[in-house]
A and B are shown apart, each in its own frame.
Chain A
Amino acid sequence: MQLLTEIILLPLIGAVTITVFKGLMPKKLPGIWASSLVGISFLLSIAADVHLTHLGVHHRFVTGTLWTWISGFGPAIGARLYLDPLAGIWLLVITGIGMLIHIYSIGYMHDDPGKARYFSYLNFFIFSMLLLVLAGNLIVLLIGWALVGLASYFLIGFWYHRPSAVRAAKKAFVMNTVGDVGILLGLALLYLHYHTVGYPHLFRILSAAHPGSAFFEWTAFLLYVGAMAKSAQFPLHMWLADAMEGPTPVSALIHAATMVTAGVYLMARLYPLLRLAPNVHYLVGAIGAFTAIFAASIAIFQRDIKRVLAYSTLSQLGYMFLAIGVGGFAAGVFHFMTHAFFKALLFLAAGSVIHALGGEQDINHMGGLFKKMPWTMAAFLAGTLAISGIPPFSGYYSKEAILGQVFNSGHTLLWGVGVLTAGMTAFYMFRLFFITFLGAPRDQALYDHAHEAPRVMTIPVVILAVLAVVGGFFRGWLNRWLAPTFALYPGASHAGLESGPLFGTILTVGLAMIAIILAYWMYVKKGVAPNAGSAHGLGRQAFEAWNLDTVWAWLAVIPFKTLGDWIRPVENGILAFVNGVASVVWLWAADLRPLQTGYVRRYALSIMVGLGALLAFYLIRA
């Protein structure tokens, strides 16, 4: 229990000390200090997880209440922490990948004047994310949930003088608040009925309930809204692409590896509730599948290296939710883990490219970089192969686990969408790889300037590349680690990793191979321009992310502003009425003003003197 507190507090200490003492710190200290604290947190996390292995299968959790958070209207709600194998996986990924990205950032941000601020935000993010996954009840989870949103807001808008960054930060914050209040209402309903929102009591109580009532559907739906907003599921997904305004390591850590998977965590955590709400459970999978293919269709036409990766993140998150939706909880978590490896890798490698090209993100200006940046190219290739699901790279195993499970569950349509998306993924990722690293340079000036990243940046990238290659081999270990957790309560009978039919694997991998060859033929052989096809027609629509921003503006933003404008005359009416009355009194008072003011003063004075004398009298007497 103590260990949990320390794991959480170390990054908070970092954030506070850097904020307070940044003026006194030598230039390089904030980065090193922040990285080491997260590093210690990582070591302690390993220790905490090792401790879990010593516990019996049915008691494999550590929990405790630090203090009573609130009481007085029902059973008290504590500031409670909870670690079980599910949280343990997230714990390792957050602190482990977090540490690597902290180290990478030392190089990436080395000449940014705001780098102390940057590291304090980054540490604050790690603190909030740890609070989220180690929360012992939904209230603490919600606090962590909102604080990661705040950290994300800080870091998206890190370069606050850029209007686009400021807009993106606002959008992310408000859309995430939609999710926060969904969880708030959901947990209020749960508390109303069960008088607890703590783990594992809540799970035990839910296990005894019978599915199908509207209460469970609504509660699960509200909590799912929270997951949708945080994990950028359609239609609450738009903020994630804009979030790329933040520094690239932030995109790797927050908007790919960790924070955006919080929704997956929440849904996996609440599997006893999903059992009781079959409709919402199905909805989670269906929206997941739709998000996967929808985002892939957008990624194919993007021209900005980070936006391609952002939409691929959306798409991969869709896969994770698809797994949750068919009850393949371990498969979803497995994909979360491998995705954290290869997507963090891809973002960091992309960051090295952007860094080398002096901030250029448009792939129209890239090409042929493999000669200049061999290490980065190799790492990016490893990540691309992994995300495309080519064996034996990590993404292959986790994607197979998901698709196999979807097939076994009998959701053929969702399975078909998943397979098709796998092919699209291989296409757009290799399109990106070929355009960036192969062929002839498209911008000679930028190309001449390009150089391999410094070692402080390449070493984390190489470590992640190794993980992205071998991450799939954790399959058996992960299954043994998670299966008992999902077996504790009903609702996850198919939670363990399963294998799909052989023809499914052949079809998926075959489609991916064809897509890669097609991409090679188009972008290397034929030399098709990166922006070809996105100028008009459907391609244009896809490039503009199907214009959902406009739809949202019409559905939400404009109605709210218009209503605000309609209220204004009402307000003017109320104020005019009061003004009218005041004017009458004012006119009437004008005749008597000398007398009147005299009265007010005398009135005031007499009250004061009277009260003062009275008080003095009784004080003396008492």
Chain B
Amino acid sequence: MLVVWLMVVALVGSFVTLVVPRQSAKMVAAIVGAIVMVLYIGLLVHPGQGVNVSWIPAWGIRFHVGSDGLSLFLLGLTVVLTEAAILASKSAWGPVYFFWVLFLEFGSLGLFSALDLFLFYIFWEVVLIPVFFLLTSWSGPKGRRAGMKWLIMNLFGSLFMLIGIVAVAVIHSQPFGPLTFEISKLVHVHMDARVTPWVFAAFFLAFAIKAPLWPFHGWMPDAYREAPAPVTALVAGVMSKMGLYGFLRIMLPLFFPEFVKYETGLLILAVIGLVYGAFMALRQTDMKMVTAYASLSHIGMIALGIFSLTRAGILGATFLMVAHGLMVGGLFIVLGLLENVGGSRELGTLRGLNASAPRFAAYFLFFALATLGLPGLPGFVGEYLIIQGLVVHHVVFAVIAIIVLVMAAWYMIRIFQGIMQGPQGDLEIADLKAQQIWWIVPLAGLVVLLGVWPNGLTSHAVPSLYHAVHLLAGKGGSV
């Protein structure tokens, strides 16, 4: 029940921002976000309280939502990052902006808690809308185009997913069972061997575009570049996890034998993204684009963990999804604040800023170190687990993964030093003030906590994670 209240508060709150005076919209949005966070703490204490009622009885569609170890921390990521994004946004962007941000939170909460496949699809579509408007209306000169590309590619993917969903449900109901979209029931479907690859591909396409996995990332560079930083943080931090969550929640239980069959191919696809993103990040001069391609590389790493089909790998992927969301979200937000005062994102235009803005430098460095996987911070935990999973059957991929970790250190330190250190340039910027950033400290604290005590998350995630993926019978069961 509580999880529904989270959604209701976000949804109602989003409309409230539209009716309050213009200048207080940001404050109202922040309060709504804070209420959702408080409710979320209640959810942490009493997880697993869901709602399951019939919605469209004729088609067997149910409004079934709930939270388990797999979704609980992604819900947490959503509420934390949304609040951070609201606080990092400019009040001048107006009530409609905050409306869409809260509406996005509503959609994301729904998506991560949906346990009915059709409901999942509805929320999958719902989140497209706020992001489309946020991209087109509050972004840079190419924003409209970036938004169009985002919408076209994602609609394309979700269309295939809809076909897949209907196919699975219909096949499941054959020959004369009732139609149902309950994920827990659909996983027992018996599909014809000729049909399965197509259904697999339909789901895969939708999730791969959303994540995005290489080479389905065509929408990503423009969207990340053009969107305002808080929106980029949400897209990279929360939205990208939806595709990966889809792999874990829906595809692994449904298609486990197919994952085994295509394992090598999938791993190669993931590892290409991992390496490719790192190389691209190494050659960028726009600090936001370095982070964007770093993010592409990390998504490849997470996918590698999922496709390793080992306990450690999948656990690592789950952990890294949450950790990556917080880290990369934090990084985009700090970079956005920096862009606001510095007026640029280019290496060379911005240089030697540490002298005039030591606080900026400190927060930038913190999130950069977290992102590059410094041991002691959560990125390392996820990467360790994924490598622990890869060495079971695929040492070669583990070797490639650790080489990319060295590259990550290189591209992150390169961009940090380029902007913050060296001789001071002509540009002097105003440093962060305490009232601007008081909320970054708890965010950073959360990141540190996850790195020092990852068991707090993994011990909760494990039972439902292995339940969700059917214990990966036989294959790599020990590690």
| Contacts from A to B (Cβ < 8 Å) | 67-74, 76, 79, 139, 142-143, 145-147, 150, 153, 157, 160-161, 163, 166, 169-170, 173-174, 177-178, 180-182, 184-185, 188-189, 191-192, 560-561, 563-565, 567-568, 570-571, 574-575, 577-579, 581-582, 585-586, 600, 603-604, 607-608, 611-612, 614-616, 618-619, 621-622
CB of A600, distance to nearest CB on chain B (Å): 8
Is the beta-carbon distance between B402 and A578 smaller than 8 angstroms? no
Q: Is the CB of A160 within 8 A of B11?
A: no
A567 to B215, CA, bound (A): 12
Contact B424 A146 (CB under 8 A): no
The answer to whether B312 and A73 touch across the interface, beta carbons within 8 angstroms, is yes
Q: Is A615 touching B11 in the complex (CB atoms < 8 A)?
A: yes
- A611–B65 Cα gap in the complex (Å)? 14
| A–B complex contacts, Cβ < 8 Å, 28 sampled | A67-B453, A73-B310, A73-B315, A73-B388, A79-B452, A143-B375, A157-B421, A161-B421, A177-B409, A184-B402, A184-B405, A185-B387, A188-B384, A188-B387, A189-B391, A191-B388, A191-B479, A561-B283, A564-B280, A567-B279, A578-B153, A581-B152, A608-B103, A611-B126, A616-B8, A618-B51, A621-B53, A622-B53
Q: For residue B8, give the distance in angstroms from its CB to the closest CB of chain A.
A: 6
Task: Report the stretch among B37-45, B216-224, B242-250 that lies at the interface.
Answer: B216-224
> Which of A74, A574, A575, A621 is in CB contact (< 8 Å) with B478?
A74
The complex places the Cα of A166 from the Cα of B215 at a distance, in Å, of: 36
Q: Shortest distance in angstroms between A73's beta carbon and chain B's nearest beta carbon?
A: 4
How far in angstroms is the closest Cβ of chain A from B99?
10
Shortest beta-carbon distance from B303 to chain A in Å: 17
Q: Which residue of B lies closest to A589 (CB)?
A: B148
A162 smallest CB distance to B (angstroms): 8
Which B residue sits closest to A114, measured CB to CB? B358
B219 to chain A, nearest CB (A): 6
B369 touches A150 (CB 8 A): yes
How far, in Å, is A266 (CB) from chain B's closest CB? 15
- In the complex, A604 Cα to B106 Cα: how many Å? 14
A146 to B315, CA, bound (A): 23
B256 at the A/B interface (Cβ < 8 Å)?
A: no
A164 to chain B, nearest CB (A): 10
Secondary structure type dominating chain A contacts: helix
Query: Smallest distance from the beta carbon of A510 to chain B beta carbons, Å?
Result: 46
Q: How far is the CB of A77 from chain B (nearest CB, A)?
A: 9
- Known pairs A72-B459, A74-B312, A622-B51; list 11 more (Cβ under 8 Å): A71-B455, A161-B352, A170-B413, A174-B406, A192-B388, A561-B282, A574-B215, A575-B221, A581-B152, A585-B148, A615-B8
> Are B422 and A170 in contact, with the CB atoms below 8 A?
no
B196 contacts the other chain (CB 8 A): no
Given A71-B458, A604-B129, A177 contacting B406 (CB threshold 8 A) = yes
* Given A184-B384, A578-B153, A619-B4, A564 contacting B279 (CB threshold 8 A): yes
B389 to A, closest residue via Cβ: A73
Assess A146 versus B4: contact at CB under 8 Å? Given A72-B462, A578-B218: no
Chain A residues, Cβ within 8 Å of B320: none
For this complex, into which size category does the number of interface residues on chain B fall?
Answer: 35 or more
Q: Are A180 and B375 in contact, with the CB atoms below 8 A? A: yes
Chain A CB within 8 A of B149 CB = yes
Instruction: Find chain B residues with CB under 8 A from A143 CB.
Output: 375-376, 380
Chain B residues positioned under 8 Å from A174 (CB to CB): 406, 409-410, 413
Task: Determine if A72 and B381 form an interchain contact, defined as CB atoms under 8 angstroms apart.
Answer: no
Task: List B264-296 residues whose CB lies under 8 Å from chain A.
Answer: 276, 279-280, 282-283
Report yes or no: A578 in contact with B125, Cβ–Cβ below 8 A. no
Asked if residues A181 and B388 are in contact (CB atoms below 8 Å), the reply is no
Q: Which residue of B lies closest to A565 (CB)?
A: B283
Does B374 count as interface, using CB distance less than 8 angstroms?
A: yes
In the complex, what residues of B have CB within 8 A of residue A570's CB? 276
Given A619-B4, A622-B51, residue A192 in contact with residue B152 (CB < 8 A): no
Choose from A160, A568, A608 the contact partner of B354 (Cβ within 8 Å).
Answer: A160
Residues on the B chain within 8 Å of A181, using CB: 402-403, 405-406
Contact residues in B for A579 (Cβ distance below 8 Å):
149
Q: Write the B208-240 contact mask toward A (1 if CB under 8 angstroms, else 0).
A: 000000010111011000000000000000000
Give the docked Cα–Cα distance between A529 and B154 (Å).
72
Question: Closest A-chain residue to B362, C-beta based?
Answer: A19
In the complex, the answer to whether A73 meets B311 with C-beta atoms within 8 Å is yes
- CB neighbours (8 Å) of A581 from chain B are 152
Residues of A within 8 Å of B347, CB to CB, are none
CB nearest to A191 among chain B residues:
B388
Are A139 and B280 closer than 8 Å at their CB atoms?
no
List the A side residues contacting B53 at CB < 8 Å. Answer: 618, 621-622
Nearest neighbor of B311 in chain A, beta-carbon distance: A73
**What distance in Å separates the Cβ of B181 from its nearest Cβ neighbour in chain A?**
16
CB of A607 within 8 A of CB of B125, answer yes
A579 to B126, CA, bound (A): 24
Q: Which residues of A contact B222 (CB under 8 A)?
A: 575
For B23-55 the 0/1 string (1 means CB < 8 A from A) is 000000000000000000000000000010101
Interchain residue pairs A-B with the least CB separation, the first 6:
A578-B218, A72-B462, A181-B402, A146-B375, A73-B312, A177-B409
Q: Is B55 touching A614 in the complex (CB atoms < 8 A)?
A: yes
- Determine how close the nearest CB of chain A comes to the CB of B78; give it in whole angstroms: 17
CB distance from A585 to the nearest CB of B (A): 5
Question: Does B422 contact A160, Cβ atoms closer than 8 Å?
Answer: yes
Contact between A166 and B417, CB atoms less than 8 A apart: yes
| Interface core residue of B152, B388, B392 (most chain A CB under 10 Å) | B388
